């Protein structure tokens, strides 16, 4: 019997596996695919996720393979200077998702997570003692808990019967990596077309390969063909620019949905399995990784038997509203990308408003998840205010919501009143347990400090 089975070997499932292993949880990660995907969805990580990688001692690995970009311009692609954020990592770390996934998989494996590919979860049932997972090949596995990190079309969510309310996709975009015969022409056309059609875009990669995106003719769940891709280029730009030799093609929509519940008994949901939204602002992977950091130690505490009553419930209580906010900001950004005159006028107005530093900063904090903190009386989210004693050793005020996920009251000077436990982590061991105990209050259990 495993402690936890994680369904899905994407960034959410891999991050969760690592978080659980930090606490010695016996974890199995399953993925239906035999190999990691080559499709490059996310292109990087935002402030909060970079802070997490730093906190976990992983940042050097990511920095070695990524490229730092300015934060400005991430809200609906409105070009503005980067605002000053209260973080040690005020940049976007550009990196293709397959590289992020690989680094997270290596970390999970190093920590002792068992990863099995080619294992599709097709059924599950639960009882008082645990969960039974049925795989497509007839294998049955048992665990005490199971977490569905199996993406937007989550089988786990469907098997649980959890409602996924929201809006269906209204527009699809075709995306792919390919060689381009008329590359200069493509880049020149892009500038012109993007003045009104922001869903058209091209980006040079290495070896003459370009990442090209173009609006699809309609909405479909079928994989795109290369002919469809070429045809859409002709429709939008009047030419297909001689594209050829596609490495991969994909289609994504702007469906926006949020799971009604993140937990049913011993089964939980995280990442895209719990929320989907258009990729504007580059937030989905980040949101999933942050779900996992919130859930990991709470589930570990529950498995180990020292979680106080209701601790696991705080996962949904804290993360569901964060996802709702992200969904809302992507809805807003999609409106701002519309070619209709009304939204374009709103875009012009917002572009002016973003010259006010606080407006620019607020919008970038939304996409970078740098403005969220859970520790406030009454449970509402806000920034933690001026850097306090908890946050100072984390070098950013917002560390509080990741470090002290207990969601309890913080006083103005940053001490925490915890009713039982506090979070588990200290950055790379730089804060000895005794210091953390002093900083965070009196109730820390020694075994919560790694």
Ligand X SMILES: Cc1cc2nc3c(=O)[nH]c(=O)nc-3n(C[C@H](O)[C@H](O)[C@H](O)COP(=O)(O)OP(=O)(O)OC[C@H]3O[C@@H](n4cnc5c(N)ncnc54)[C@H](O)[C@@H]3O)c2cc1C
- Minimum gap (Å) between residue 72 Cβ and ligand X: 16
What number of other Cβ atoms are within 10 A of residue 410's Cβ? 24
- Minimum gap (Å) between residue 119 Cβ and ligand X: 6
- Minimum gap (Å) between residue 193 Cβ and ligand X: 18
Backbone angles phi, psi at 443, to 5 degrees: -100, 5
- Minimum gap (Å) between residue 156 Cβ and ligand X: 7
| CA separation for the pair 383, 398 (Å, rounded) | 7
Backbone angles phi, psi at 65, to 5 degrees: -110, -5
Nearer to ligand X, 61 or 69 (CB): 69
Nearer to ligand X, 32 or 408 (CB): 32
Nearer to ligand X, 9 or 212 (CB): 9
Backbone angles phi, psi at 8, to 5 degrees: 120, 120
- State both tokens at 364: 């970038």
| CA separation for the pair 258, 154 (Å, rounded) | 12
Nearer to ligand X, 100 or 439 (CB): 100
Nearer to ligand X, 368 or 431 (CB): 368
Ramachandran sector of residue 309 (left: φ over 0; alpha: ψ -120 to 50; beta: rest): beta
Angle at CA of residue 369, ends 84 and 390, nearest 5°: 75
Nearer to ligand X, 9 or 180 (CB): 9
- Minimum gap (Å) between residue 60 Cβ and ligand X: 21
| CA separation for the pair 131, 133 (Å, rounded) | 6
- The residue among 375, 297, 323, 321 whose CA lies nearest residue 52 is 297
Which residues of this protein are in contact with ligand X, per CB under 6 A? 7-13, 30-33, 41-44, 97, 120-121, 149-151, 155, 175, 252, 271-272, 279, 282-286, 288
Contact 45, 100 (CB under 8 A): yes
Contact 440, 390 (CB under 8 A): yes
- Minimum gap (Å) between residue 411 Cβ and ligand X: 33
């Amino acid at each position: 019997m495993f402690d936890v089975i994680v369904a899905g070997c994407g960034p959410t499932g891999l991050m969760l596996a690592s978080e659980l292993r930090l606490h010695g949880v016996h974890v199995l990660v399953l993925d239906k695919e035999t190999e990691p995907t080559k499709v490059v969805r996310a292109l990087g990580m935002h402030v909060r996720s970079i802070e997490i990688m730093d906190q976990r001692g992983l940042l050097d690995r990511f920095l070695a393979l990524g490229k730092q970009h300015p934060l400005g311009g991430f809200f609906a692609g409105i070009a503005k200077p980067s605002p000053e954020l209260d973080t040690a990592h005020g940049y976007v770390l550009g990196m293709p998702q397959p590289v992020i996934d690989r680094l997270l998989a290596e970390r999970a494996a190093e920590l002792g997570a068992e990863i099995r590919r080619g294992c599709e979860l097709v059924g599950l049932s639960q009882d008082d003692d645990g969960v039974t997972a049925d795989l497509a090949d007839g294998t049955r596995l048992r665990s005490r808990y199971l977490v569905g990190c199996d993406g937007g079309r989550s089988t786990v969510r469907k098997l649980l019967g959890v409602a996924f309310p929201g809006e269906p996709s209204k527009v699809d975009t075709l995306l792919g990596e390919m060689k381009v015969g008329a590359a200069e022409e493509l880049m020149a056309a892009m500038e012109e077309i993007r003045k009104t059609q922001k869903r058209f875009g091209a980006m040079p990669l290495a070896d003459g390969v370009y990442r090209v995106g173009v609006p699809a003719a309609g909405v479909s769940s079928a994989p795109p063909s290369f002919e469809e891709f070429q045809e859409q280029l002709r429709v939008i730009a009047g030419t297909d620019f001689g594209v050829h030799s596609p490495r991969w093609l994909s289609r994504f929509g702007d469906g926006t949905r949020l799971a009604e519940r993140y937990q049913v008994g011993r089964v939980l949901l995280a990442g895209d399995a719990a929320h989907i939204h258009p990729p504007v602002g580059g937030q989905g992977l980040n949101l999933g990784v942050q779900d996992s950091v919130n859930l990991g130690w709470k589930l570990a505490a529950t498995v180990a038997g020292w979680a106080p009553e209701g601790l696991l419930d705080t996962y949904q209580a804290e993360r569901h509203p964060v996802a709702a906010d992200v969904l809302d900001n992507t809805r807003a950004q999609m409106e701002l990308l519309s070619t209709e005159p009304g939204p374009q006028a709103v875009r012009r107005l917002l572009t002016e408003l973003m010259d006010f530093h606080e407006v620019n900063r607020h919008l970038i904090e939304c996409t970078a998840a740098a403005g969220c903190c859970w520790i406030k009386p009454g449970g509402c989210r806000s920034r933690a205010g001026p850097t306090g004693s908890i946050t100072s050793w984390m070098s950013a005020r917002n560390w509080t919501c990741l470090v002290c996920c207990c969601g309890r009251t913080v006083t103005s000077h940053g001490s925490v009143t915890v009713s039982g436990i506090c979070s588990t982590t200290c950055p790379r061991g730089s804060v000895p347990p005794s210091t953390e105990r002093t900083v965070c209050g009196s109730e820390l259990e020694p075994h919560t400090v790694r």
